[in-house]
Chain A
Amino acid sequence: MANVLVVAELLEGKARKTTLCAVTAAKQIAEGTGGSFDILAIGEGAAAAAAELTGYGAGKVLTAEIAGGYVCEKYAATVAETGKAYDVLVACASAYGKDLLPRAAAKLDAGVASDISAVHTDGGKLSYTRPMYAGNVSGTVEILSDKQVVTVRQSEFAAAEPSGEASPTEDVAVQDDPAAGKVEFLGVEVVKSERPDLTEADIVVSGGRALKSSENFTNVIEPLVDALGAAMGASRAACDAGYVSPELQVGQTGKVVAPKLYVAIGISGAIQHLAGMKGSKTIVAINKDKEAPIAQVADYFLVADLFDAVPAFTEAVKKL
């Protein structure tokens, strides 16, 4: 029997949807082992976030109010202390989860299986599948320590739906950590977009180096993105060149996405990019070079100059 603690991810006092993906994994672990799960809302605005998380079947929603911006050292001791009462700690493998959970795990002497894509509970024994080598190998792993810590790949765990009654909420004490005195949070610039979140969108349109400029992203890619109601993504080369901001990067070192439709425009398809999008249901490539590696994963490939093809694609979509 494994009792599970989900560590919620808060952004500006609200629970990010990543939290609900972690809840789905926690439910699988709890149901497969005959255990239960609770949620810890930690950070600024924890009480309000807890109110959002109360209807998802958790035994309890715990709150730890910590003012000021997030730094791992301010949160990890509280996560670890709260985690002592559980067998498994779960969070989404977002930049937040991958920063915070290993520190809490080290405090608990727990092994970490990061970025898992599946939970197994055969005979009540837990193991996890996780993509390795940029998604070219998948490994099944057991955690041997008393406590287990996992982070879950958002694209592989659907967001939990509300279920059942409201869970009771309870405050937990915030723990001090001497390491927290060595880091001062100076600020955060949160990028806002009217468009769907990259990791949650049904359609993603990504541009690569062939776009050549930030203006071309605005004038060529964005109209198609908006005509499709899509999220915008980019290759590492496009982010590095400053055509778009880094949080739009799709790949091994960016976001991993698995939308219904992924449109790769002017992206050659380096293995590191494929790692972030090859789980998409339908993949379209628009590229001048029909030999580009993106062809290895593309369902539909239009060999064309993107500057001609994309505006025509946009117009055709608008007419549908």
Chain B
Amino acid sequence: MKILVSIKRVADPDNASKLKVSADGKAVTSEGLEWKMNPFDDWSLEAALRLTENAAEKNARVGEVVLVSIGPNDEHTQRIIREGLAKGAERGILVEADEGTLDAGVVAAVMKAIVDKENPDLVVMGKQAADGDSNVAGTVLAERLGWPIINYAMKIKTSDDGKTLEVLRELDTGVATVKVTGPAVLTTSDRILQPDSVKNGVTPDSHQYAKLEVGGRYASLKGIMQAKKKPIDKMSFSDLGIDASKALNYTKFELPPARTGETTFVADVAELVDKLHNTAKVI
């Protein structure tokens, strides 16, 4: 099985409260924040790796994972791609773009051009990027390809050599089960990091992955060494024949209003109840 995984660099999401906005309100500035792999892409990469390996044999590769990152061609984007390669992906593609030129529609256009070249069996994307929080590009890509979209996959079981997938999708109100015939686009939910989330017909069904608390797997030392030799192809919009323009125009960014009021530390339950009942009047 060949899988394309999109990975985006984002300003460190764990420190998003330190973001600033330029004086004219036209740009978000992330000075002092490290660039990190979008955590939602990291989960999706984990799903793709599980789908293309035999975990019982030291995660031996049985398929191919190709990473696609769209962004500035600089050390930060390259480092994020290397990180994915070190986790196990076979190769990377860096599509050069200034971040100001991207929105979900443009990202979908780029991904479609790459899909047309690479003919993968699956595209697995983060459901959203931790900066824009849009949750749109994967679905738009699927429609442009005429493929199904399976959003918020929490469990995936393949059959028929990976041509069909039975997927549990997380909803607001519960869980739906669908059977999808590939090729398809998938996004993942938090639960894709659970030890039993992927059954690929190669790794024994009884296999339990190590519990992952925050993101996808860590790269091994061997993986990090190997990643240095794996190829990253660089290409431009014009190489791909893309002439896409944005449908969204951000006119202003603002920081949310500073919180008013202080934290009142209460001494005990009695004081807490008194404050909530008599001061805040919420119980």
* Interface positions of A (Cβ within 8 A of B): 11, 69-73, 76, 94-96, 98-99, 102-103, 105-107, 110-115, 127, 130-145, 178-179, 182-191, 199, 203, 228, 236-237, 239-240, 246-247, 249, 252-255, 260-261, 270-272, 281-282, 284, 290, 295-304, 309, 312-313, 316-317, 320
Q: Is B100 an interface residue (CB 8 A)?
A: no
Q: Is B34 an interface residue (CB 8 A)?
A: no
Other A-B pairs, 10, CB within 8 Å; known A144-B248, A282-B280: A72-B148, A95-B151, A95-B172, A102-B135, A137-B28, A144-B249, A246-B170, A301-B264, A301-B265, A317-B283
List, in ascending order, chain A residues with CB within 8 A of B56's CB.
none
Q: Considering the chains assembled together, what is the distance between the CA atoms of A188 and B135 in angstroms?
A: 22
Q: Considering the chains assembled together, what is the distance between the CA atoms of A252 and B188 in angstroms?
A: 14
Q: Is B105 an interface residue (CB 8 A)?
A: yes
List, in ascending order, chain A residues with CB within 8 A of B53's CB.
none
Over the window 179-193 of chain B, the binary record of Cβ atoms lying under 8 Å from chain A Cβ atoms (1 yes, 0 no) is: 111101000011101
Q: Is B218 an interface residue (CB 8 A)?
A: no
Q: Is B239 an interface residue (CB 8 A)?
A: no
Complex partner residue of A184 from B40, B171, B178, B189, CB under 8 angstroms: B178
Interface centre among A178, A179, A249 (most CB of B within 10 A): A179
Q: Is B118 an interface residue (CB 8 A)?
A: no
Q: Considering the chains assembled together, what is the distance between the CA atoms of A70 and B177 in angstroms?
A: 10
Least Cβ–Cβ distance between B13 and chain A, in angstroms = 6
A297 and B178 in contact, given A132-B131, A240-B193, A302-B266 (Cβ under 8 angstroms): no
> Is A271 within 8 A of B13, CB to CB?
yes
Q: Considering the chains assembled together, what is the distance between the CA atoms of A240 and B149 in angstroms?
A: 24
Q: Considering the chains assembled together, what is the distance between the CA atoms of A304 and B272 in angstroms?
A: 12
> Is B149 within 8 A of A110, CB to CB?
no
Q: Restricting to B93-143, which residues have a CB under 8 Å from any CB of A?
A: 103-105, 108, 127, 130-136, 139-140, 142-143
List, in ascending order, chain B residues with CB within 8 A of A320's CB.
273, 277, 283
Q: List 30 A-B pairs, Cβ < 8 Å.
A: A96-B172, A102-B136, A105-B140, A106-B108, A106-B139, A111-B103, A111-B247, A132-B132, A133-B13, A133-B16, A136-B16, A137-B256, A140-B253, A141-B250, A142-B251, A179-B143, A179-B147, A186-B177, A239-B190, A240-B193, A246-B191, A281-B282, A282-B282, A299-B261, A299-B264, A299-B280, A302-B265, A302-B272, A303-B265, A304-B268
Q: Considering the chains assembled together, what is the distance between the CA atoms of A266 and B271 in angstroms?
A: 19
> Is A236 within 8 A of B269, CB to CB?
no
Interface centre among A131, A140, A239, A254 (most CB of B within 10 A): A140
Q: Considering the chains assembled together, what is the distance between the CA atoms of A228 and B273 in angstroms?
A: 12
Q: Considering the chains assembled together, what is the distance between the CA atoms of A303 and B269 in angstroms?
A: 10
The size class of the interface chain B forms with chain A is 35 or more
Q: Is B206 an interface residue (CB 8 A)?
A: no
List, in ascending order, chain A residues with CB within 8 A of B23's CB.
none
> Is B255 within 8 A of A115, CB to CB?
no
Q: Is B213 an interface residue (CB 8 A)?
A: yes
Least Cβ–Cβ distance between A21 and chain B, in angstroms = 13
> Is B190 within 8 A of A246, CB to CB?
yes
Complex partner residue of B177 from A136, A137, A187, A240, CB under 8 angstroms: A187
> Is A140 within 8 A of B251, CB to CB?
yes
Main secondary structure of the interface of B (DSSP, over half): mixed
Q: Is B154 an interface residue (CB 8 A)?
A: yes
A263 nearest in chain B by CB position: B276
> Is A103 within 8 A of B139, CB to CB?
yes
Complex partner residue of A247 from B170, B246, B264, CB under 8 angstroms: B170
Complex partner residue of A298 from B17, B151, B263, CB under 8 angstroms: B263
> Is A246 within 8 A of B154, CB to CB?
yes
List, in ascending order, chain B residues with CB within 8 A of A98's CB.
135-136, 151
Q: Considering the chains assembled together, what is the distance between the CA atoms of A163 and B236 in angstroms?
A: 54
B141 nearest in chain A by CB position: A106
Q: Considering the chains assembled together, what is the distance between the CA atoms of A303 and B184 in angstroms?
A: 49
List, in ascending order, chain B residues with CB within 8 A of A76's CB.
143
Q: Considering the chains assembled together, what is the distance between the CA atoms of A61 and B167 in angstroms?
A: 34
B249 nearest in chain A by CB position: A142
Interface centre among A95, A135, A296, A312 (most CB of B within 10 A): A95
> Is A133 within 8 A of B14, CB to CB?
no
B127 nearest in chain A by CB position: A253
> Is B180 within 8 A of A183, CB to CB?
yes
List, in ascending order, chain A residues with CB within 8 A of B179's CB.
183-184, 186
Q: Considering the chains assembled together, what is the distance between the CA atoms of A69 and B154 in angstroms?
A: 18
Q: Is B36 an interface residue (CB 8 A)?
A: no
A188 nearest in chain B by CB position: B176
> Is B171 within 8 A of A96, CB to CB?
yes
List, in ascending order, chain A residues with CB within 8 A of B265's CB.
290, 301-303
